[in-house]
Chain A
Amino acid sequence: MGLLENKFKDSLITTTVDSLINWGQEKAMYPLLLGTACCGIEMMAVGYSRFDVLERFGMLFRFSPRQSDVMIVAGTVTKKMAPVIKAVYDQMSEPKYVIAVGSCAISGNIYKSYSTLQGLDRIVPVDVYVPGCPPIPEAFAYGIIELQKVIASRRVIRKQPTEADPGAQPRTNVHEILRPGHIKLPTAQDYAAHLDDEITGQEQGGLLESGRRRD
């Protein structure tokens, strides 16, 4: 796309070509399944014939990132899974979109813990958020319609270099996904000092038994 940037202005021909390209893409999005937790069950229900949300939008589940346009991340993303999701995202070809399904994928939900990623958008750009715990299939369908609107409003051959585009996101190495190891951790001395403070406080309160840790 870089060759086209800033070459074309809005005109009858360019807008028509753009809308044609967008129309083709928004009617045939191939989603990549990433059911990382319980929302994945809801995603399966969405795919089957009772709700039939996906195929009516021309979506067909693919199981390879190289064949997919849309990554649907349904469920809690753990810090152990985060590098995998980032790697899968990087393997998808442009243009690519991400739907975060469920409160956990959006913000971590109640899992504000050491092991859970606090929001999918910390590792990949997210286009549509579908809230819910889990979201009902109708909400899922609404999210897909919203994504179609995102695609429909895209400028393809009229693209301006300043426009935000998922392809223009700075790429980070998969292995640079921040793990606890990349943040300065309190050392053992810090812990010990912290404990000393606590112990001193309790001693003054007269609550401490003998033989507690002091080093």
Chain B
Amino acid sequence: MPIQESLQVVVKKLQDKFGDSILSTQEFRDEVTVRFKPEVWVEAHRFLKEDEDCAFNMMIDETAADYPLRTERFDVITHLLSLGKAHRIRIKTQTAEHIPTLYSVWKTANWLERETYDLFGIIFDGHPDLRRILLTEDWEGFPLRKDYPIEGYDI
């Protein structure tokens, strides 16, 4: 089953605009995933928000995934929703540790990035207030990294 038409337009527009900066475009069960190079991370999101055919005006989630054996071990992932067009998209990129913040595009990225920093230790460059949000402030380590012991350090 083909993906919905408005999303096809979005993917086409992204490919036209970003070209080589798109590493891959996946489609699985009507869900579209676009993987960008980290250099265009903010620019791509701003385009997705402000372009009238994309119109992703809501950030659902920003999170990460850890692949410890890779050189750039973290995938940073955002889920976007367009309330007007009723379509969703998933954006990925990968990084070793640093990635620019999306706070300038969506204000909700503030806490989502703090959570991602808290649990994965990814530094969001330019974030206004990058502190731990869930764990205690003196916590050491980042629990959702794959090399953190799954049971933690017992007390």
Contacts from A to B (Cβ < 8 Å): 79-80, 82, 112-115, 117-118, 122, 177-183, 185, 191, 194-195, 198-199, 202, 208, 211-213
Nearest CB on B from A192, distance (A): 9
Given A122-B155, A194-B147; A180-B71 close (CB under 8 Å): no
Inter-chain contact B139/A180, CB cutoff 8 Å = yes
A79 partner, pick from B71, B136, B149, beta carbons under 8 A:
B136
Contact with A along B129-150 (1 / 0, CB 8 A): 0000001101111010001111
- B28 interface contact, C-beta 8 A: no
| Dominant secondary structure of chain A at its interface with chain B | loop
Inter-chain contact B149/A195, CB cutoff 8 Å = no
Given A79-B136, A79-B155, A185-B140; A199-B69 close (CB under 8 Å): yes
Q: How large is the interface on B (under 10, 10 to 19, 20 to 34, 35 or more residues)?
A: 20 to 34
Question: Can you name the residue of chain A whose Cβ is closest to the Cβ of B149?
Answer: A114
10 smallest A-B Cβ distances: which pairs? A114-B152, A178-B155, A180-B153, A114-B143, A212-B69, A181-B140, A191-B147, A183-B153, A112-B151, A80-B136
Inter-chain contact B136/A195, CB cutoff 8 Å = no
Nearest CB on B from A184, distance (A): 9
| Dominant secondary structure of chain B at its interface with chain A | loop
Given A79-B136, A185-B140, A212-B70; A195-B147 close (CB under 8 Å): yes
Alpha-carbon separation in the docked complex, A199 to B135 (Å): 31
Among A194, A202, A213, which residue has the most Cβ atoms of chain B within 10 A? Answer: A213
Residues of B within 8 A of A117 (CB): 155
Alpha-carbon separation in the docked complex, A198 to B141 (Å): 20
Question: Can you name the residue of chain A whose Cβ is closest to the Cβ of B136?
Answer: A80
A212 partner, pick from B71, B150, B155, beta carbons under 8 A:
B71
Residues of A within 8 A of B71 (CB): 211-213
Residues of B within 8 A of A208 (CB): 69
- B19 interface contact, C-beta 8 A: no
Residues of A within 8 A of B149 (CB): 114
10 additional contacts (CB under 8 A) given A82-B155, A182-B155, A198-B69: A113-B151, A113-B152, A122-B155, A180-B141, A180-B153, A183-B153, A195-B68, A208-B69, A213-B69, A213-B71
Alpha-carbon separation in the docked complex, A13 to B81 (Å): 78
Inter-chain contact B136/A114, CB cutoff 8 Å = no
Inter-chain contact B152/A179, CB cutoff 8 Å = no
Given A79-B136, A114-B143, A115-B143; A213-B70 close (CB under 8 Å): yes
Nearest CB on B from A91, distance (A): 20
Alpha-carbon separation in the docked complex, A114 to B146 (Å): 13
